[in-house]
Amino acid sequence: MSNVNVYKQRPDAAHGESPLFHAGLDELVRKGPLHKSSTAGITLREKKLLGHLVLRGDAKDSAFAGGVHQATGLELPVALTLVANEHSSLQWLAPDEWLLIVPGGTEYEVEQKLRAALDGQHISIVNVSGGQTLVELSGPKVRELLMKSSSYDVHPSNFPVGKAVGTVFAKSQLVIRHTGEETWELLVRRSFADYIWLWLQDASAEYGLVIKA
């Protein structure tokens, strides 16, 4: 492996706080729907403290694609899509850039595997785990919430499962990821987390919102 300094940004003894730690989501889990609706049309869960690695390289180079697959078990996704397995996901961000999300605490090991598999190639790997979080929304009313939160067309014909798009959301910006028929993820930057949390509470009032651990 080439001489590259790789730092373990999350030591085993360190206590991490997610961007939505202050919202007390763990306490809200036991309270049922936050609004008066008798049934919750939307369930929210923060997929917190995961490992987020931004990878850059040449998608046209078979050695690069092969190395990524060797290290992660995932094929490079094409434009505006993501691929996933039981534990990790790989999302296209730009023609030469992808976001790899892995279980929290494994990002240091995964980065080392990637660098070993891609040794000698012109690549970049940046750990951005502390700067963003995933908010999972599931339920029959999620699409309606997205429709009034973003101008991007989330109709099934335009936004099938497996698509991921960076877009304007409630006067801020984030990435919308469609991961299941009634399951979506919002990739939220830490600086926008407060605002997005407050928006989601208000925008989901008519549907009923429940928080899940």
Question: Cα–Cα distance between 37 and 16 in angstroms, integer?
Answer: 34
- Output 181 or 12, whichever has higher pLDDT: 181
DSSP string computed for 155-196: -TTTS-TTBEEEEEETTEEEEEEEEETTEEEEEEEGGGHHHH
Burial degree of 30 (CB within 10 A; 0-12, 13-18, 19+): exposed
Single pTM value for the model: 0.90
What DSSP character marks residue 91?
Answer: E
- 195-201 contacts at long range (C-beta below 8 A, 24 or more positions apart): 195/170, 196/135, 196/169, 196/170, 196/172, 197/20, 197/23, 199/149, 199/170, 200/44, 200/135, 200/137, 200/145, 201/34
Are residues 54 and 130 in contact, defined by beta-carbon separation less than 8 angstroms?
no
List pLDDT tens digits, range 53-102.
Answer: 999 999 999 999 999 999 999 999 999 999 999 999 999 999 999 999 99
- Give me 38's structure tokens: 């008798």
Are residues 182 and 144 in contact, defined by beta-carbon separation less than 8 angstroms?
no
List pLDDT tens digits, range 132-190.
Answer: 999 999 999 999 999 999 999 999 999 999 999 999 999 999 999 999 999 999 999 99
Question: Cα–Cα distance between 64 and 178 in angstroms, integer?
Answer: 26
SS3 45: strand
H helices of the chain, in order, are 25-28, 62-72, 107-117, 142-149, 193-203
Are residues 137 and 185 in contact, defined by beta-carbon separation less than 8 angstroms?
yes
Domains, the chain, in order of start with CATH, read 36-49+131-211 (3.30.1360.120), 51-130 (3.30.70.1520)
